[in-house]
Structure 1
Amino acid sequence: MALRFLNKERPIKLTDEELVLRFSKNSNQVCFEELYRRYKHLSFGVCLKMMKNEDDSRDIVSEVFRILYQKLPSANVKSFKSYLYAVSRNECIARLRQRKSEANKLAGWRYTEKAEMGFVENDNMVSLIDGEPSMETNMENAVRLLGDEQRTCIDLFFYENKSYKEISEQTGFSEKQVKSYLQNGKRNLRIMLEKEMRKQIA
């Protein structure tokens, strides 16, 4: 279902940041409509690239902006464009995971293959993950719990083998931010996996 906006006024002279701020403070519908007008095509492009289906992509775009409408007032958004990209991509991934017919596309989620790069530094953990299908499920569940920025960078780096520079160009994050999101994401994943391992051993 497409989003419908009634107010025709468009504060086009405001920056993205100003629009987000006004919407967050006052639930200004006009400001949100302008963000939608500016970025609906970007979100659609991200979704279409991943979903390969226009109807599915349009549906997800509507869902993305519903999520943004709910999250923006409480989110600390420094770049709306980057945040929109992250939410759009994560919604597509969630949709693909729900489809049994798309299981093969997600079979490549083998983040542990990057262990030599410091992703998982505990050899025992690597062995357990490689030997137990349930640990791969734990890995996917842990990835879902990451913040949008960390999850997006982890997905692009480990799943799509993108470089820091490529991730920066695709998301709008600086290379320094990409490195930070990856480091923090890897650390958080390691903590969650170690916690899960202790539960299984206990």
Structure 2
Amino acid sequence: MNNLKKMTDEELVILYSKGKNQAFDTLLNRYQNRLYSYIYFIVKNTEIAEDIFQETFVKAIMTIKQGRYTENGKFPAWLTRIAHNLIIDNYRQERNENVVSNDSCEVDLLNDMKLSEGTIEMDIINEQIHEDVRHLIKLLPDNQREIINMRFYQDLSFKEIAKTTGVSINTALGRMRYAIINLRRMAEEKEIILTPE
């Protein structure tokens, strides 16, 4: 197994195409965190991210097994492209499912005061949610708090965050992922609702 870890991606792909399943396990271990982080930060939903992550590797397996993978020395970029296309497909499907027609409704959805922009009550609720989030962020470890502040309050890209903090983009993405997981966990523990009812 240690010998597999030393092999290049392309060598592992060739081995896998010849039936050595451990070769693909090595590729999976090599790229699963990076790929999952990429998917999650776009879709921002654990369930959808896991589905797309699994579907990405299923497509990769099928392509390799069918001999359609062309060796170009960019296996991670190829995986990311598959994931990206699946994310786009997911958004298209979601958009089509969520289209609402006003024609079939007795009530005019487009002229309903309840559906208009925020009320004072909603403003108060939203402000409370923001206050709760700011409080939870203070409880995060320093490196996670720093990433959250730079991304959401300073609007920096992950590339800029990585450069500013002196870490790789993957490390920055990983810290963001753990920060979000920790925020959700703390919110559940403290019974804080982070979305308007």
TM range (shorter): 0.3 to 0.5
TM-score scaled by structure 2? Answer: 0.44
TM-score scaled by structure 1? Answer: 0.43
The structure with more radius of gyration? 2
